[in-house]
Structure 1
């Protein structure tokens, strides 16, 4: 592809990464001059036109400012944002979940195209591979229309299950196609796992903060929650897990090892292995949400808990919703020793997953398109994440802290103490901006001055203006001037 470099990354994006690296390392400070086009052309080994394209893109995103006959400069802004404080509290006593109404309020923004999309986690459709997907879907419908009209087996389409197993094997998990159960998105996979493992009143360990849909599922199933703090840099610690299993009667755990939603935490590989061993000692199942694992910014994909599962106690759940086609609702669960129970739940709920969508995704994967698409998507999301962090440093009030994730597509912001994130949610929505308030990510009120922003929202003039306005709203909330 013209203009693409190694690994399928566009050359101008690689130049942009160099500038963002300079900003984050402090080599390029607010108001400072960026390397000239010729200097960057020599350093990056690309053409002047490529550097010009990169600088124009960074200017469009609000990172650089062009001054006639002087060159490009980093826009003025506040000091570099620091990371949110690391939590240190021990696991909390089991408690019922009571966040249903608040979570329902936040989920009303799903699919609302009138809002600037910082509220729903996931890449905007403009970052996805829609043209190829549409052609593949049209082809499978044309080539085998009768199959597309019929049910697949309850397990799912064999060709798709084979592709999912291959991908799991690539990062070290011992998975066969017959171990995979296809679902209608990751939420159905998680619902199946919890229905197969628990009864009302059981206690489940989660990291805190945790994905609000976990809490919604737990509340609907009448389960109690034990929260253990998650650090934005390393996630939940094995020591916290061990303390929880020693103190409480746990029925299962539900954890996100790779780029936890909302704090973006990535567990170190040795911590994943240790947590699997700790739970295996007590025969406690582990429900793993790995929907963001493919969206790593580093050179290799981080493994999931499933890699270290030797007793079938890890039930891995994932989907293509965050990487390929959210509207198609194609997910899966690898339920280990609980496969028969998972099948019983699937029989009693949706019976089977939509056939045409499974056929198209299986064909897309078989043609080798997915990895090329992921390389481009990861590059775009990393640039988006860095750009938004820079814009936050310009637009948000002093005292704002924000995570620096190594993958995924969310940023977790700690705002000055006077901000009520639910109040900010309503004020932002009235101005056409979607966000997620911190209180939906816990059963407690520990995150009332936090918000989650979607880094998958493409930064254009509308999104830039939305961030600027959101920063003003946050500043007014912090000052109590409403």
Structure 2
């Protein structure tokens, strides 16, 4: 039987589709609860739950003794501007301490987790996975306690190779390395193609743990602008590879964390071609690719790779279970080096969870799960953006991602993301300050908020509190003029090496 959360979401999506197609116009009366329940074969309480959610999003309004009516759509928040950076890294920003605090908050249940890029556990098939894990432990006995092969269990690698066909990737099981989540895949990939002191090009903004990983590996950074609605432009990357000695490039083309930017498929093909000319490896993080909100999955850069230079990294942490820690790396021509490094980093990935995930995929459950998960995540994203529109002050800007679980918010006036985080923590809410997502401390007036949190009164109250904090931090009427987005040179750490140096 379909879970209640999915049934009400089906009803909600049906009403939204009628509105978007013009079947229901502003001022029209929505179908009655009883009529819609009969038509969609659901309970009255399910329809009432869907209508209540649409009302909280500002899509419908309830009129006493008359029913529900379609409201006029409010003007959407404008997209954030792409910000230039200060000349020096702000001394007040202690990156390691703030990142440590954010990671510590991941496991806290007393906070509303808006600072964590996550998928609400209620939407994940944890009960099914756990049953398969229990069955695996019974059936396989002692074998579950043995070391597995360094590249991972063949049964899982076969399923991963099959799963990636949807992203346009053709790679046999022998080209797959199972890892402990996507972060180990990134770690192995970077060590396979770089040495300490090398320069790496990376999108800006980018996931703060990537920046921390690059720092720990002794790598220099050049930041390439990620623009709302289009991601990294091939021309920007070409400029950097012409001017700098770039050892590798790290990108998240599908729904970049934190801005949710999606690089168009033709641009991905062009990026792969540009890097192939100089033999520059591209490390592609695709952890959000399966979580698209549209009818078709976007392709990956790996699908355009003809030279084996794209090292594709992903995991099931956002779509199945973060606690199972099952990810993978397709290292292309760097397979032998990747296996050597994997063996010295963790020897092998845990055998029981590999077995359980392999069985889940083998039974075809992943496809059915994603078919339900994607519209639910779209609903949650729409809900979060609607709450921000209603509760944050004028001048607020936000991205509107077509996939993933995070949105990127620019605070108005003099709002500071780090102070925003501290005040939010005092109110029992986590949030990620924008300055963490740049090696140079850019994006001080930005915050990343998770849209993968269960909808309901607790979430609305939390966003209302964050809106109040944004009001307190803003300097009403004193908006700082913004320079043209990325009008000058790419952002580079001072020690990045030019080609003629």
Q: Same fold (TM over 0.5)?
A: yes
Alpha-carbon offset, residue 102 of structure 1: 3.3
C-alpha RMSD of the superposition: 3.0
- 1:64 positional shift: 4.5
CA distance in 2, matches of 1:346, 1:3: 39
Match of residue 433, structure 2, among 418, 434, 437: 437
On the 8 A contact 1:185/1:321 being kept in 2, the answer is yes
Q: Which residue of 1 aligns with 2:165?
A: 169
Q: 1:217 aligns with which of 213, 216, 229?
A: 213
Q: 1:98 to 1:392 in 2, by over 3 A?
A: closer
Report the equivalent of 1:310. 306
Q: Gaps (5+ residues) in structure 2?
A: 477-501
Q: Do residues 284 (structure 1) and 253 (structure 2) align? A: no
Name the TM-score, length of structure 1 as normaliser.
0.90
**Aligned counterparts, 1:41-440, within 5 A:** 46=40, 49=44, 51-59=47-55, 64-72=60-68, 79-86=75-82, 99-440=95-436
Task: Return the alpha-carbon distance in structure 2 between the equivalents of residues 351 and 110 of structure 1.
Answer: 26
CA apart distance, 1:420: 0.5
Q: 1:350 to 1:142 in 2, by over 3 A?
A: same
Assess if the C-alpha contact under 8 Å between 1:62 and 1:464 holds in 2: no
Contact 1:118 1:455 in 2 (8 A): yes
Q: Secondary structure at the match of 2:276?
A: helix
**Deviation (angstroms), 1:269:** 0.8
Q: How does 1:449-468 map to 2 (within 5 A)?
A: 449-468=445-464
Structure-2 separation of matches of 1:301 and 1:389: 22
> What CA deviation, in whole Å up to 9, does each residue of 1:329-383 have, x standing for no partner?
1111010111111111111111111111001000010011111111111111000
**Matched-pair contact (CA < 8 Å) for 1:137–1:356:** yes
Shift of 1:51: 4.2
Q: CA deviation at 1:65?
A: 4.6
Distance 1:135 1:180, change over 3 A: same
What are the Cα deviations for residues 450-473 of structure 1, in whole angstroms up to 9, with x where unaligned?
A: 111111111122111111111101
Using the TM superposition, give the Cα deviation of residue 3 of structure 1 relative to its aligned residue in structure 2, in angstroms. Answer: 8.9
Corresponding residue of 2:483: none
Q: 1:402 to 1:34 in 2, by over 3 A?
A: farther
1:290 shift after superposition:
0.3
Secondary structure of 1:294 counterpart: helix
Please give the alpha-carbon distance, in whole angstroms, between the structure 2 residues aligned to 1:128 and 1:332.
Answer: 19
Kindly tell me: are residues 398 and 325 of structure 1, through their superposed partners in 2, closer, same or farther at Cα, counting changes over 3 Å? same
Deviation for aligned residue 1:36: 2.4
Deviations 1:385-442 (A, max 9, x none): 0011111111111111111111111111111031010001011011100111100111
Indicate if the aligned counterparts of 2:418 and 2:433 stay in contact, CA closer than 8 A: yes
Q: CA deviation at 1:20?
A: 4.8
Aligned-partner Cα distance in 1 for 2:81–2:318: 28
Alpha carbons of structure 1 residues 53 and 457: separation in structure 2 relative to 1, 3 Å: closer
Secondary structure at the aligned position of 2:280 is classed as: coil
**Alpha-carbon distance between aligned partners in 2 of 1:403 and 1:44, rounded to the nearest angstrom:** 38
CA–CA distance in structure 2, aligned partners of residues 98 and 117 of structure 1: 21
CA distance in 1, matches of 2:322, 2:29: 39
Q: SS at 1:113's partner residue?
A: coil
* Residues in 2 aligned to 1:290 and 1:420: alpha-carbon distance in whole angstroms: 30
In 2, Cα distance between the equivalents of 1:391 and 1:28? 23
Shift of 1:10: 4.7
Q: CA deviation at 1:84?
A: 1.3
1:213 Cα offset (Å)? 1.0
Q: 1:98 to 1:278 in 2, by over 3 A?
A: farther
Change (3 A) 1:17 1:335: same
Name the count of aligned residue pairs.
470
Q: Find the aligned partners of 1:259 and 1:319 in 2 and give their Cα distance.
A: 15
2:34 and 2:209 map into 1 onto residues whose CA distance is 45
Q: 2:29 aligns with which of 32, 35, 48?
A: 35
* 8 Å contact kept, 1:328–1:357: yes
Q: Sort the Cα spacing of 1:39 and 1:104 in 2 relative to 1 into closer, same or farther, 3 A.
A: closer
Distance 2:126 2:95 in 1: 35
